[in-house]
Structure 1
């Protein structure tokens, strides 16, 4: 029940309000404290109410009343804070100060009246709960973050797709794709939702025989609402490495499409001459194997004997549907091994005699209901994103923090606590991992469309979220706290459905465009209490009105044309995240941004801090005040400036730093002096204009996992000068003359290495035996002088992926590559025809080096 989380959020806000605004509350403080105490008491009642509301409409209404009164209290607090802030910045002089005092007295009287109304409502709700027999059962269940952190560090690095029982289907579909009709055709896979169609399609798409048969392949998701242009662009992105001539050739080829759909009519319409492949339900043995893989993930195999009978009864209710099996298995993996606990789950599934589809929906709903209350808003938040949307974990976590969901414990940061919650949802099989990074953390994720429908349904029921699609009218948003717009913003604003209660607006559109004056007024003047604003638009600048949204915690844009941020942005003193994605030009950032003391993440596309102010002009240097940013964790894609020398060393909480356009000695000196003080750094990206004058050692940066260095290096540092825990390294434009492999292969934890664009200008490269003990991915790109490459036996014993791109003078594949038996994928891009000819199957001179590699891709 998201209501418990909503009450918890309001309680935290009340507590902060009583501390921070005490001077303004001397007449109403007692009333506010009373509201805080009563809401705490009600929070302890909600778990019992949650257990009873599914069978009693009156209890359901009681829970809704608790939610509404909590929302009312939040509205009063936020509106009062807004008025205080407006008056702090809007009055000067004796007369104006007198008017400010007079209006503040009126405001306190008004807030007192509002709180008195809320008190009366709370008293009514409290008295009525006795009628329904609702009792205090404490704060409810939770989960242990420490165990999750251990799981997170040991999570698999590449792929997490569960495939059991599809062997024959894969064999059949692969055969139809590579041995079927020579005409352009569509091979469809049909079946009910949750049957595993997408999982099967992924396995077929990644099949070695399929990859070798087709010159190029593309994977896209087509949701119920889509824009043809975006689909075409997604396909083109998959072919970006092809030359113009290869693209033209591809257009003339007969292509084969693999389509998954629940609707047999769609399959027939796509290709009437191709019979669809109907995916069947899993058999009993396959069902039990999949269930055990999920339910007994953390428990010894001996537990199966104790729970096997109950487990098989539970599995029988899943109707052979993989999605339901992994969902209920994920739920039980978090339960005690006491058979009584499993019996309760079985009874809930069997409580009603319904058809298969209704029972599946009930199983998925049960997985949601079983979540600890603190996790429910995290799950509901996935309804914000469009169907089949690939969600970046970093962005999702920052949004969760800004929404106020996160309650860290111990010494962990809010971002770490949020990451634990994401991992918990993954382990419960409610969320799917799409990609993990080099150290095993989630990079992007997705939610199954049936669970997506569930998240939206539950979110609307709790007035947690309202979603507006292009072809539907929005539900009445009179109390919804969040609004997601999945189409052009102008279509929604034309409905003139303003909602002063909104805390979040996210425009994640399929057809992003420009915001007109009407749309800007709608967004920046209509919602004064916003905490989160994300826009998928193309405007070149933001209006000054953005500075009136003083409650904002998250401000994000996915734009192509934004060039500047207004100075009024410094009024957003609660802002935690400023994120500008995919910019194509320099974005000018006002110097005043550094007044925003709550900033945690600044991630912009080619940001440039502009130096303004009288003091700057007098002494010729900016007064940035970066030392005030005691919470800053991310500062990425920002142009170098005097701020490096003046302030960087004071940002001791930084975890991610990215600076470009460094070109003079004092910037380098400032960097050398500052970096040793930033011992929490996890990711570092530095771009020099030309030569890197000196390389500072990073051996004491124990948290540093990722480095990207661009610029001429006079000499590659010794291996002991790098962080001992470095997992990913990229070198670009380094102009090294000495073979870098002799040094880099000694890095004990390096998993990903990219040597890019003139990073090495020598003719010979050697990977020696026992070198690169942990390396899993190696990319060698645009090394124009490389002629010979040798891999000694025993080198790179864990390598999975190798990319060779635009090394025009390289004569042949590395000698000794045949000894790297772990290699799963070799990609060769834009190499000379003679080089490619050596890899021809059975007759190329280099075929013996690669015949053991499952996947070979030549472009």
Structure 2
């Protein structure tokens, strides 16, 4: 697996960085620099090479990169544990020289192979033929279309509407979801046939051949190319195609397009006839579709629901006949287990059509639908594998890492990014932080329809992700093939889903593991002491009463997530390389100040309060620290200058208790976007908000258990980027008097960028506001405000408002919201406003 190189490169760049002060190299620095040079050079070659050329050296590169990592990290761990006071680090020179020679040999071989292209044409033609055969076989007849009536109507309308300019209609979705089937049925629809003067279809594939594309467009799908056209040169074909399209209303379908390059090459042959011509493309790549037609023009094909999945399965097996009553239940289960993917339903339907139509046989098939699909149709696996094979090298390990999580598991994006970074998968790129670069990776996987966005943030950006069940099976299969995850002879990464799983392999194999991810609540045998070189230890589901002391020996850790009631012990700074520390479930405890000696920290999330100041001396600026929850605001913290040493913090939680007069100036934290402020209403510190100075960069603000004054709300209106405001269990103050039963926004109060507002468990009776106070609000949530009399009627006049959600409020609030919706519908013909009312 060639992309192991990036992890090696990350390690070498870190220990050779000029600002690195942890290690001093006696005589190995030249060898390490040479190794880094060879690794980077080989990586550049691999990034430009096709998967076909990389495959022959894949195993060798993987083993060499792993060997180099083991040499470096084993020596670092040994030094840290045996002689922690020493900064001198020495590696065995012959070992370093050997892996350097092996990488250099691979680079030379790849360079020579890139120049010797005698067999390349044959390889590309073979791949192209395979892709086209799979593409053709994936197109189904109209009788197999189920659950896509709305798609058909929308697409036919876009093809036949009154717009005279040439319009591009992209159909986007994951492999096997039915893009080509949908396009083919529209292409053959009598309405489309009669509407257009000329129709053309071409299968593009991953390896496009412009000559064959032009021949296809001149001939039509499933038609033999005439001898006359076959004898034409490329320039002559271009001229013929342009002449056939010029002056005619045409519809062209470009099926399975993978890159923008082929579009740029072919679009020049589509004349602007100003007569309503259309070009349809199908693609798995959302970024390709956006490049071609813009983000607003995309038509995303959705997975089928349970009912449509069952109906499609029965249509494939029984045709026009009804499904026998005894099979309806198991048919529904099989359809449901295909997770809405039409290609999977077609494959399992093909299997069921060849076996006995008895409940026992179908029940047997239903026990493992996914295995039956893969075993019965190799082509199914090949079609899904195309998406993986087409991935750039740097995205492959990020995709395979999803196999570490259980089926239907939803993972937070920030967690996933931190795991990738800890593993060394994310390449440093100029001025971007590693997290920003990981965001690019996430977006790319979503655009390729390999990751699904499961939940979104209040601002509409993705928050949580998952992977389709059948893509997860592909993920696990590829991870096993490439020795990436959970193998008996190679334990680089260990994943445990069930509490009953015994993962205690040989100590020697476990000592090479770099990731240990457990989503169960416990493991059958203790393994921490075996994980000598582990970088990722994610055991959040397990709750420890006492912190496992063995973890303090895992000095190669970069990511640690766990739950513990006793907190974090002294000695945590031994984990010198730690980037992410997440600890849940603990009660109040003394926070070890030595944690501020850990220069690699990027994210610190604790359930306890972090007290800074007592005996703490500022030694350096924490430039890498981006997340910290929760900092206890005390006079000693302010005196320590703590907020001066976290200049790049993005997410911050602060807690006030008994110090209302402390002024906290955060205005210099220009990257701070997400701020949570919390106190206790029965404490003096609950009035601290008036002493708080904000940076203009704030996008999300959460305040809980605080006293809110009118002057504070006026201050918030000056924040130009505030998009999300959540206020919970707070009381309002006017003229120094707390617990006022009213929130009145004055005429001058304008939250000009606010898109999401949540009022949670407030004791207010009256809320006075109008559309000018929240001019761009999209969503309003009012939860647990039992005393509130109504939602201001003018809120409904906000032109951008999309939804109002009410939960746990009185009948008068519910009535006011229904009235707002009624007025919008009857007087303004606004049927888009959604109202959700929950008890």
TM-score normalized by the length of structure 2: 0.65
TM-superposed CA distance for 1:74, in Å, is 1.3
Distance 2:835 2:818 in 1: 18
Distance 2:188 2:217 in 1: 11
Aligned residues of 1:377 and 1:405 also touching (Cα < 8 A): yes
Q: Equivalent residue of 2:57, what SS? A: helix
Question: Cα–Cα, structure 1 residues 601 and 329, in superposed 2: closer, same or farther, change >3 Å?
Answer: farther
| Match for residue 530 of structure 1 among 527, 534, 543 | 534
**Larger CA deviation: 280-289 vs 538-547:** 280-289
Q: 2:658 matched to which residue of 1?
A: 664
Unaligned 5+ runs, structure 1: 54-58, 92-99, 138-163, 171-192, 200-279, 297-304, 315-325, 347-353, 467-474, 824-845
Aligned residues of 2:494 and 2:515 also touching (Cα < 8 A): yes
Distance 2:621 2:694 in 1: 28
Question: Cα–Cα, structure 1 residues 580 and 778, in superposed 2: closer, same or farther, change >3 Å?
Answer: same
Q: Equivalent residue of 1:492, what SS? A: coil
Q: Equivalent residue of 2:84, what SS? A: helix
Distance 2:572 2:254 in 1: 44
Distance 2:188 2:594 in 1: 61
Question: Cα–Cα, structure 1 residues 307 and 396, in superposed 2: closer, same or farther, change >3 Å?
Answer: farther
Q: 1:206 matched to which residue of 2?
A: none
Q: 2:207 matched to which residue of 1?
A: none
Distance 1:35 1:281 in 2: 50
Distance 2:108 2:624 in 1: 44
Match runs of 1:102-251 below 5 Å: 108=90, 111-119=92-100, 121-122=102-103, 133=113, 135=115, 166=147
Question: Cα–Cα, structure 1 residues 732 and 793, in superposed 2: closer, same or farther, change >3 Å?
Answer: closer
Q: 1:544 matched to which residue of 2?
A: 549
Q: 1:389 matched to which residue of 2?
A: 409
Distance 2:830 2:593 in 1: 55
Q: Equivalent residue of 1:463, what SS? A: coil
Distance 1:821 1:685 in 2: 36
Question: Cα–Cα, structure 1 residues 794 and 27, in superposed 2: closer, same or farther, change >3 Å?
Answer: closer
TM-superposed CA distance for 1:748, in Å, is 1.2
Alignment of 1:86 onto 2:13 = no
TM-superposed CA distance for 1:821, in Å, is 7.0
Aligned residues of 2:611 and 2:631 also touching (Cα < 8 A): no
**Larger CA deviation: 651-660 vs 719-728:** 719-728
Aligned residues of 1:751 and 1:774 also touching (Cα < 8 A): yes
Q: 2:599 matched to which residue of 1?
A: 597
TM-superposed CA distance for 1:80, in Å, is 2.0
Aligned residues of 2:51 and 2:389 also touching (Cα < 8 A): no
TM-superposed CA distance for 1:340, in Å, is 11
Alignment of 1:705 onto 2:632 = no
| Match for residue 504 of structure 1 among 493, 515, 521 | 515
| Match for residue 728 of structure 1 among 720, 724, 743 | 724
TM-superposed CA distance for 1:52, in Å, is 3.2
**CA deviations over 1:25-71 (Å, ceiling 9, x no partner):** 44334433333333344334435765435xxxxx7453211221121
Aligned residues of 2:611 and 2:637 also touching (Cα < 8 A): no
Alignment of 1:746 onto 2:746 = no
TM-superposed CA distance for 1:576, in Å, is 0.9
Q: 1:361 matched to which residue of 2?
A: 381
Q: What RMSD in Å do the two structures reach over aligned CA positions?
A: 4.6
Alignment of 1:569 onto 2:560 = no
Question: Cα–Cα, structure 1 residues 854 and 77, in superposed 2: closer, same or farther, change >3 Å?
Answer: closer
Q: 1:766 matched to which residue of 2?
A: 768
Match runs of 1:779-798 below 5 Å: 779-792=781-794, 795-798=797-800
| Match for residue 375 of structure 1 among 379, 386, 395 | 395
Alignment of 1:35 onto 2:38 = no
**CA deviations over 1:103-148 (Å, ceiling 9, x no partner):** x7xx84x612322443554566567769x845599xxxxxxxxxxx
| Match for residue 632 of structure 1 among 616, 625, 631 | 625
Question: Cα–Cα, structure 1 residues 683 and 43, in superposed 2: closer, same or farther, change >3 Å?
Answer: closer
Number of aligned residue pairs: 622
Alignment of 1:682 onto 2:680 = no
Q: Equivalent residue of 1:623, what SS? A: coil
Aligned residues of 2:726 and 2:757 also touching (Cα < 8 A): yes
| Match for residue 715 of structure 1 among 710, 730, 733 | 710
TM-superposed CA distance for 1:565, in Å, is 1.3
Q: 1:756 matched to which residue of 2?
A: 760
Alignment of 1:9 onto 2:10 = no
**Larger CA deviation: 529-538 vs 624-633:** 624-633
Q: 1:442 matched to which residue of 2?
A: 462
Distance 1:717 1:23 in 2: 49
Question: Cα–Cα, structure 1 residues 327 and 625, in superposed 2: closer, same or farther, change >3 Å?
Answer: farther
TM-score normalized by the length of structure 1: 0.63
Q: 1:183 matched to which residue of 2?
A: none
| Match for residue 462 of structure 1 among 478, 482, 491 | 482
Distance 2:149 2:175 in 1: 19
Question: Cα–Cα, structure 1 residues 528 and 428, in superposed 2: closer, same or farther, change >3 Å?
Answer: same
Unaligned 5+ runs, structure 2: 118-144, 152-173, 190-199, 205-212, 223-252, 269-279, 285-373, 733-739
Q: Equivalent residue of 2:561, what SS? A: strand
Aligned residues of 1:622 and 1:643 also touching (Cα < 8 A): no
Q: Equivalent residue of 1:439, what SS? A: coil
Aligned residues of 1:387 and 1:452 also touching (Cα < 8 A): yes
Distance 1:82 1:741 in 2: 59
Q: Equivalent residue of 2:431, what SS? A: coil
Distance 2:218 2:668 in 1: 57
Alignment of 1:481 onto 2:492 = yes
Question: Cα–Cα, structure 1 residues 78 and 497, in superposed 2: closer, same or farther, change >3 Å?
Answer: closer
Q: 1:431 matched to which residue of 2?
A: 451
Q: 2:59 matched to which residue of 1?
A: 64
Question: Cα–Cα, structure 1 residues 421 and 287, in superposed 2: closer, same or farther, change >3 Å?
Answer: farther
Question: Cα–Cα, structure 1 residues 679 and 37, in superposed 2: closer, same or farther, change >3 Å?
Answer: closer
Aligned residues of 1:500 and 1:529 also touching (Cα < 8 A): yes
Distance 1:33 1:786 in 2: 67
TM-superposed CA distance for 1:418, in Å, is 0.7
TM-superposed CA distance for 1:329, in Å, is 5.2
Q: Equivalent residue of 2:8, what SS? A: helix
Distance 1:590 1:428 in 2: 44
Distance 1:594 1:89 in 2: 18
